[in-house]
């Protein structure tokens, strides 16, 4: 029998401020998305186990597309396996809005198709 916590999905959205641009072209470092995954994993643990839990490891992280200051990111976590004290979680970060400085200093647009920027698989532990 499958655990009812498997398949639970939690999503957070966050605007990427220009203060987080770290490289030329207003690129944001990968640690920004990994931190988002930590935040969304915390909510998963609270919902599944009533505890913030602890992040134990990542078994895979793939950086697939650039993230820039001015983007709006959506980070989703889905519980894929429930152990006695561990939970395996699949993560995906998508760019859903993008700044358009070519059209004006504060111009931006909602993307017709989100861009998958980062995927990961991680393990959290709970008491």
The predicted-structure confidence for 34-61, as pLDDT tens digits, reads as follows: 999 999 999 999 999 999 999 999 999 9
Phi, psi (deg, nearest 5) at residue 97: -140, 150
Tell me 51's DSSP state.
S
The angle subtended at Cα 92 by Cα 115 and Cα 42, nearest 5°, is 140
Dist CA 73 CA 71 (whole Å):
6
pLDDT exceeds 80 at position 1? no
| pTM, 2 dp | 0.92
The gap between the terminal CA atoms of the chain, to the nearest Å, is 23
25: confidence class by pLDDT, cuts 50, 70, 90: confident
Q: What mean pLDDT is reported for the chain?
A: 95
How far is residue 100's CA from residue 107's CA, in Å, rounded to a whole number? Answer: 5
């Amino acid at each position: 029998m499958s655990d009812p916590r498997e398949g639970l999905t939690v999503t957070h959205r966050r605007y990427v401020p220009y203060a987080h641009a770290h490289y030329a072209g207003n690129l944001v470092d990968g640690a920004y998305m990994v931190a988002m995954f930590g935040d969304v994993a915390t909510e998963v643990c609270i919902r599944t186990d009533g505890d913030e839990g602890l992040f134990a490891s990542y078994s895979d992280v793939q950086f697939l597309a650039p993230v820039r200051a001015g983007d709006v990111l959506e980070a989703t976590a889905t519980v894929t396996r429930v152990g006695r004290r561990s939970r395996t979680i699949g993560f995906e970060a998508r760019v859903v809005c993008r700044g358009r400085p070519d059209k004006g200093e504060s111009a931006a647009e909602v993307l017709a198709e989100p861009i998958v920027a980062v995927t990961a698989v991680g393990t959290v532990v709970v008491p």
